[in-house]
Amino acid sequence: MKAYKGYLIDLDGTMYQGEQEIDGAPQFIEYLKSQHIPHLFVTNNSTKEPEEVVKKLHKMGVSATGEEVITSALATAEFISDQHPGATVFMIGGSGLFQALTEKGLSIKDNENVDYVVIGLDEAVTYEKLAIATLAVRKGAKFISTNKDVAIPKERGFMPGNGAITSVVSVSTGVDPVFVGKPEPIIMHKAMETIGLDKHDVAMIGDLYDTDIMSGINIGIDTIHVQTGVTTIEELEQKEIQPTYTFQDLNQLITELQQG
């Protein structure tokens, strides 16, 4: 297979499964480091700060630094800051989103008189938060959502994701948001800018076809599907556009790369 100069890598289902390690993940990152191959972890999770993501990766035996993590919160903050430096924002979301927005000089407000409404996953969301967001969008605030994932896997099963929360405001106002996270190009363009390589030299690795693989396809880079998470090989075969490669796990990918 082709040897790439850099990789963009999904987290849940690729590096770990919930709170469980995935065999081959730590070994793959060690292989990349031994070959001095740059890589970034690209996640739709907007609730965690990069340092928190790194802490979890370390717990799973995966070597990482905060500079190697691109979250949908970071991509959202940069997207807004580029459009409107110093904008006022009403946000629904966690500490990761709050930190990303404020570090870009954006001003967080608790009322509907704002330039932007930003929605990220908030497991403590209230009717009042949704009401303020709705009023702000109706007043003309630009509507941004960190990602469109409608469900997220939890110990109890699949729970409402950020896309489900976002839909409340969207349905109420009739306004569709700009989505930032995978499979949309915004987060991927930030990742490509950060890794600093030509798109022909980079591959996206992930388990979930509709987000990870489509995110690579949507910006024209090669994709590597791993069968360690959500999308099975049987489901993959039904897709019209296939990933560039699919492997049982990252151990198999290491073997292929070593064989050249």
Give the per-residue pLDDT at 18. 82
The answer to whether residue 16 scores a pLDDT higher than 80 is yes
Give the per-residue pLDDT at 158. 79
The answer to whether residue 203 scores a pLDDT higher than 90 is yes
Give the per-residue pLDDT at 195. 98
Mean pLDDT of 114-140: 97
The string over 115-138, giving b where at least 16 C-beta atoms fall within 10 Å of a residue's C-beta and e elsewhere, is: bbbbbbbbeebeeebbebbbbbbe
Does residue 212 carry a catalytic annotation?
Answer: no
Q: Give the tens place of pLDDT for each residue, 64-74.
A: 999 999 999 99
Q: Give the tens place of pLDDT for each residue, 20-67.
A: 899 999 999 999 999 999 999 999 999 999 999 999 999 999 999 999
Share of the chain above pLDDT 90, in %: 90
Q: Give me the catalytic one of 12, 115, 212, 249.
A: 12
- What domains can you pick out in the chain, each with its CATH number? 6-44+182-259 (3.40.50.1000), 84-179 (3.40.50.1000)
Does residue 10 carry a catalytic annotation?
Answer: yes
Average pLDDT over the chain, rounded to an integer: 95
pTM: 0.92
Give the per-residue pLDDT at 155. 66
Mean pLDDT of 96-116: 98
